[in-house]
Amino acid sequence: MASTDVASFIGQLSDIGIPFKTPTDPDWATYSSTYNLRLPVTPAVVVVPSTVEHISNAITFAGKHGFKVQARSGGHSYASYSNGGVDGSIVIDLRKIHFRTISASDDPNCVIVGSGTRLGELAQTIDQRTGWKRALPHGTCASVGVGGHFTHGGYGFFSRAWGLAMDRIAKIMVVLANGQLVLADENQNQDLFYVSPNALIAFSPLTSELLLTLGLPNKAMRGAADSFGIAVAFYLNTVPTPESIIHWDFKVSDATKSIESAVRAFQHIQTFVHDHSVVDRQLGLNVTLSSDYFAVGGTFLGSRNDFVRKVIPALLEGIPEFPTIEVKQVDWATSLKLLNQGRELDSPTDSSEHSNFFAKSVTIPEPGFTAESLTDFFTYLLDQGARAPISYFILADLYGGADSQINAKDQSFSAFAHRDTLWVTQLYGYVDNEQVFPSEGLDFINGLASAMTARLPSYGAYSNYTDPSLPREEANDLYYGKELHKKLKQLKRDLDPNNVFANPQSIEG
């Protein structure tokens, strides 16, 4: 983009008082650096709006000058797409769009949250700081922003009980590519939704002219928001805070002594999670793997007595080696801290966490891995993983299984394709921030994924674990499935015909 276009864009921002950052600002690195240091991307300008009107005008100006736009909430994009994904984009940094507080709506169980809010702030506010004693299912990293997390899925250990984070969205306030503001209702995916100007007093000094009655298929924003608009506020249906949580962890590293023992252990866990006589929605579970490590752990919303007398025996029955077992009962606040790796939940708005990594995901539909696919995977893992050129971890999060509330919904509910999924795996390789990530590390992570999928009948990928190595069409077929991808392409033509909201894997009409 020519420097004259950048200067003209900046001039328009300045004329009406929209805050922004450019490379001449001393704190430019704070606003422009990427979470993933392996993929540095430099925006042309970072807009830092404090009102919804700022966002609307900035998008309108950017579109007129031919810039591509992406939003950044917490900035944890695996592929640096919250920085645009390519140099020269306009980033709308939402750190000030948290409206200073989380508000109550007319429904006492529903809260209104700005998209720049971070997960730790959200969790603490709706539970303790307001005294509401409410909770939501979402990820464990406190510094992740609500905007991207909730609009692309949002898994946490309590999602089998309460659904994905996106499933708790009642309404979304969205700024579209033409700068228009709409309020989309989740129960009327393609109907118009009318909103009174008074509803926006808590957010910004918006004028009623910006409130347009425009049909917005809400499910596009719940699953593929980066291609369709900028979510500025969420109405979220909460649940009562549990009185106590069971945290549990079984280390069964002897399972990796051979390919056969590793396959048997995983097959047993896969059978266990389908046992309706033992497992229900109260159980959250994942498996953590490396070449010499095999652990299964998670949370349980029931009583300690039920977990110890009922769940543990069934889980251990198929594991011949006696594992190391840790079970603790904690309150909700302590549970959140434990899930955040023992760290406090407060995260400053100028948090600048970084990592140097490459990650892939594989979603495995019900009924799960075949014996052949597990054999392929553990053959590669126990061989190549023992001499991996990088540090790595592998997580298999349980989405499905008995009584899962993630899978209680279908694809008509939102643009989330994986409602028939049993496992969502993350294959994550990393090096120190100061190192150059070696090409052999990319080959290793890609090899893990290839070994896992070679003989799977079908599989997909999870868009919150964005894989920048995939071509656009292949990525979106894996993220959304071929049929849903086709529908989203048509919606893109309708809602963003000039492709204002774009990154290397965004939906193209």
* Cα-based distances in Å from 103 to 96, 127, 141, 198, 441: 15, 13, 23, 14, 45
Each residue's pLDDT tens digit, 429-487: 999 999 999 999 999 999 999 999 999 999 999 999 999 999 999 999 999 999 999 99
Report if residue 429 sits inside a domain. Answer: yes
**Same structural domain for residues 63 and 165?**
no
At residue 427, the 3 state secondary structure works out as: strand
Name the helix (H) or strand (E) containing 12.
Answer: helix 3-15
Q: What is the pLDDT of residue 388?
A: 98
Q: What is the pLDDT of residue 197?
A: 28
For range 478-500, the mean pLDDT:
93
- Per-residue three-class SS string for 55-76: HHHHHHHHHHCCCCEEEECCCC
Q: What is the pLDDT of residue 349?
A: 62
**Same structural domain for residues 420 and 273?**
yes
β pairing state of 239-240 and 293-300:
unpaired
**Same structural domain for residues 164 and 302?**
no
pLDDT over 70 at 99, yes or no: no
- CATH code at position 88: 3.30.43.10
d(CA 493, CA 507): 10
The runs of H, that is alpha helices, within 234-311 are: 259-272, 304-306
- The pLDDT confidence band at residue 219, using thresholds 50, 70 and 90, is low
Task: Count CB neighbours of 253 within 10 A.
Answer: 14
**Same structural domain for residues 457 and 439?**
yes
pLDDT over 60 at 274, yes or no: yes
Average confidence score pLDDT of the chain = 90
- The pLDDT confidence band at residue 322, using thresholds 50, 70 and 90, is low
pLDDT over 60 at 79, yes or no: yes
Report if residue 475 sits inside a domain. Answer: no
Q: What is the pLDDT of residue 194?
A: 23
* Boundaries of domain holding 80: 3-93
How close are the terminal C-alpha atoms of the chain, in Å?
22
At residue 219, the 3 state secondary structure works out as: helix
- Of 16, 79, 19, the C-alpha closest to 46 is 19
pLDDT over 70 at 307, yes or no: yes
Each residue's pLDDT tens digit, 168-213: 998 899 999 999 998 876 554 333 222 222 333 233 333 333 333 3
For range 311-340, the mean pLDDT:
90
Return the amino acid letter for 502. A
**Same structural domain for residues 221 and 173?**
yes
Work out the burial of residue 128: count CB atoms within 10 Å of its CB; fewer than 13 is exposed, 13-18 middle, 19 or more buried.
middle
Each residue's pLDDT tens digit, 136-163: 999 999 999 999 999 999 999 999 999 9
Last residue of a domain, one of 187, 221, 240: 240
Q: Which two three-digit tokens encode residue 340?
A: 């955040």
DSSP state of 465: G
Q: Contact at 8 Å (CB) between 382 and 256?
A: yes
For range 66-73, the mean pLDDT:
97
Number of domains within the chain: 3
Backbone phi, psi, residue 391, to 5°: -75, 155
